[in-house]
Structure 1
Amino acid sequence: MKTIRITVIDYPGGMKSAIEGLSELFAMASRLSLERQEGVEFAVQVSASAELAGLPVPVETDVPQVIILPPCIVGDEYIVEQPSLSGWLKTMHGAGALICSVCAGAFILAQTGLLNQRPATTHWMLADRLAQRFPEVRVDDSKILINDGDLMTAGGLMAWLDLGLELVAQFGSPALMRQLGKHLVVDTAPRQQRYYRCFMPPFDHGDRVVLKSQHYLQSHSQTSVTVKQLAEECHLTERTFLRRFVRATGYKPKEYIQQLRISKACEALESSADSIEVIALSSGYDDVSAFRKVFIKITGLTPREFRGRFCAET
């Protein structure tokens, strides 16, 4: 049985129904997984933010796979600087944890600096405030949920449900997520499409050197990056870096970068009206023909076919 450890942060003003709802959602997912013999269970721990201050750096086995910052429904604690919590979140992220936020929780996540140069969403009423306070964050309030690999943000007070379903699909299976949706009487179709389209790289492999390069690639995939540059950044020979990267991720660096680029291109094709040429360029491809070739190899569709199949307005 594979156990997915999830920590939900209970900070002052945090929405109690979301905290309890996430716990119950993952408990239900675990029961369904047992019935379906899928071999995965979700273990949720609710931790008060004050309890996290000053904790020692954990060993690998103590690092949760997922940490969730729920929405805030009372007060404005989410805009108060919380250096202890920020430091703890950065430590956990550096150790391989997937950090998630819902609604106003994005403000707490943004305090860590982890969202700099990264896409993020929050409640539409808070989007301008988030963008003004953290100008390096690429705020997009048109998205219900943005899964950017090692960081995940959801908008709206009730978007914790979307987040929970996405995590069940990612760490369990799409079939388990669909079954959970039936029990909850929730339409899971959009989450299915997002799951199949997104590249889900592993971050819990325990190799912190490789993890550092993954975090770098997550926000620099559109630029020209060589194995030599990555190896030098990690103070390793190219051969050693390549061996460790493949062992940890299952991909060669070039393949990994292609997966990241096409994942972001799929997001752009579905959510924007930009031309394929523009999307290819913004994804890191100067040659549109090369972009199409890689896109077909990874998705099985041409960019135009993908847009026609998954975009409501073509």
Structure 2
Amino acid sequence: MKTVSILVPESSVPQAIADPQYLFSTVNQFLLASGKQALFNVQLVGQAKEVKLNAGLFSVHVDKQLNEVEQTDLVFIPALFGNMQQAIAQNKALIPWINDQYNKGAEVASLCVGAFLLASTGLLNGKKCSTHWGFSSEFRQLFPEVELVDGSIVTEENRIYSSGGANSYWNLLLHLVEKYTDRETAILASKYFAIDIDRNSQAAFAMFKGQKEHKDDVIKKAQEFIEQNIHERISVESLADQYGVGRRTFERRFKTATNNSVLEYIQRIKIESAKRCFESSRKNINEVMYDVGYTDTKAFRTIFKKITGLTPLEYRNKYSKQI
């Protein structure tokens, strides 16, 4: 029997507590129906017997308080809600407990922005991690010693797991079901819950927001120029000359400020514009390609798929309102 402890932090997302509880309890039912024994002892764990969420709209009654759990096999840290730094401060009492369980041999898994609380334990220092694409810049600022893997759905290293944004955590849940049971049971669960098993990227859902949360005014001006001239072919040399900065210095400052190289930033801005065109217009792929400054179909297709995980045609067919 594997003990699964689902934490109930203050300021957490109720669904990210209920979903793993629902899934692992359902897997127990699958096992019993096939003549096997239930495998998971699923419990909700919190600082207090009752944890109120969403300004008291929801109330969660835990099975055990922290001091009642001596040892567990798997700890889930659900997604947090609101201001991440405030949420971490509210739940600082959970940090030594998480560390203690990990040191006793438990595996630890964070769901979506639960990665912020997981990273606060120090367990992720020097390790890879996934989180919601929309919080990547803030995460890097708060936890520079953690290697954030952009766009990843599931990351695993040294008994520590993390997942991408929002419902991406279902793929981590299914990954753990397969690890503890077998592939057949994981596929059954994916069909039962209508989850696309083995999805490995959240890139198609990511919206590039420009990464301007820095104080380098020259780089901000360069970013704005790129965004206002999407249809043009822009070179690193021309940008550096335009702002009176040597190329190497400009590239270094750009990377430091945005966490992207100049070329990566230009590509992401252009592809984000192309995505919006595919979603809201009847333009064909070549028209969109020219609109965002590409003339080579193969290059456009390659870069588009690298950034979104889909070909231009696949993306248009999936997200266009016009089809």
Q: Normalising by the residue count of structure 1, what TM-score does the alignment of the two structures yield?
A: 0.55
Question: How far apart, in 1, do the equivalents of 2:109 and 2:14 lie?
Answer: 17
Query: Is 2:57 the partner of 1:55?
Result: no
1:164 shift after superposition: 1.3
| 1:206-225 pair list within 5 angstroms | none
Work out whether residues 78 and 104 of structure 1, in 8 Å CA contact, stay in contact via their aligned partners in 2: no
Question: How far apart, in 2, do the equivalents of 1:186 and 1:53 lie?
Answer: 32
- What percent of counterpart residues are identical? 24
Structure 1 partner of 2:79 = 71
SS of 1:161's equivalent?
Answer: helix
Structure 2 partner of 1:302 = none
1:78 shift after superposition: 3.1
1:54 shift after superposition: 7.6
Work out whether residues 10 and 90 of structure 2, in 8 Å CA contact, stay in contact via their aligned partners in 1: no
Structure 1 partner of 2:206 = none
SS of 1:158's equivalent?
Answer: helix
Give the one of 135, 155, 160 matched to 2:169: 160
After superposition, the CA RMSD in angstroms is 2.5
Segments of 5+ residues of structure 1 without an aligned counterpart are 192-310
1:116 shift after superposition: 0.4
Give the one of 142, 148, 164 matched to 2:157: 148
Give the one of 98, 106, 120 matched to 2:115: 106
- Amino acid in the other structure paired with 2:6: V
Question: How far apart, in 2, do the equivalents of 1:83 and 1:14 lie?
Answer: 13
TM-aligned CA distance change 1:30 to 1:171, over 3 Å: same
Structure 1 partner of 2:278 = none
TM-aligned CA distance change 1:75 to 1:130, over 3 Å: closer
Work out whether residues 9 and 91 of structure 2, in 8 Å CA contact, stay in contact via their aligned partners in 1: no
Count how many residue pairs are aligned between Structure 1 and Structure 2.
188
Work out whether residues 54 and 84 of structure 1, in 8 Å CA contact, stay in contact via their aligned partners in 2: no
CA deviation digits over 1:169-206, x for unaligned, max 9?
Answer: 01111111011111112222447xxxxxxxxxxxxxxx
Question: How far apart, in 2, do the equivalents of 1:139 and 1:152 lie?
Answer: 12
Work out whether residues 2 and 73 of structure 2, in 8 Å CA contact, stay in contact via their aligned partners in 1: yes
| 1:86-101 pair list within 5 angstroms | 86-101=95-110
CA deviation digits over 1:131-181, x for unaligned, max 9?
Answer: 111111001121011122410001212223112111110111111101111
- Amino acid in the other structure paired with 2:22: E
SS of 1:6's equivalent?
Answer: strand
TM-aligned CA distance change 1:87 to 1:53, over 3 Å: farther
Question: How far apart, in 1, do the equivalents of 2:16 and 2:197 lie?
Answer: 19
SS of 1:187's equivalent?
Answer: coil
- Amino acid in the other structure paired with 1:20: A
TM-aligned CA distance change 1:29 to 1:186, over 3 Å: same
Work out whether residues 117 and 137 of structure 1, in 8 Å CA contact, stay in contact via their aligned partners in 2: yes
1:81 shift after superposition: 6.8
Question: How far apart, in 1, do the equivalents of 2:90 and 2:99 lie?
Answer: 14
SS of 1:78's equivalent?
Answer: helix
- Amino acid in the other structure paired with 2:195: V
Give the one of 10, 15, 27 matched to 2:25: 27
Question: How far apart, in 1, do the equivalents of 2:90 and 2:126 lie?
Answer: 20
TM-aligned CA distance change 1:37 to 1:110, over 3 Å: same
Question: How far apart, in 2, do the equivalents of 1:90 and 1:136 lie?
Answer: 17
Highest Rg: 1 or 2?
A: 2
| 1:119-198 pair list within 5 angstroms | 119-190=128-199
CA deviation digits over 1:250-277, x for unaligned, max 9?
Answer: xxxxxxxxxxxxxxxxxxxxxxxxxxxx
1:64 shift after superposition: 1.2
Segments of 5+ residues of structure 2 without an aligned counterpart are 50-63, 201-308, 312-323
SS of 1:114's equivalent?
Answer: coil
Question: How far apart, in 2, do the equivalents of 1:112 and 1:148 lie?
Answer: 15
Work out whether residues 98 and 150 of structure 1, in 8 Å CA contact, stay in contact via their aligned partners in 2: yes
Q: Normalising by the residue count of structure 2, what TM-score does the alignment of the two structures yield?
A: 0.53
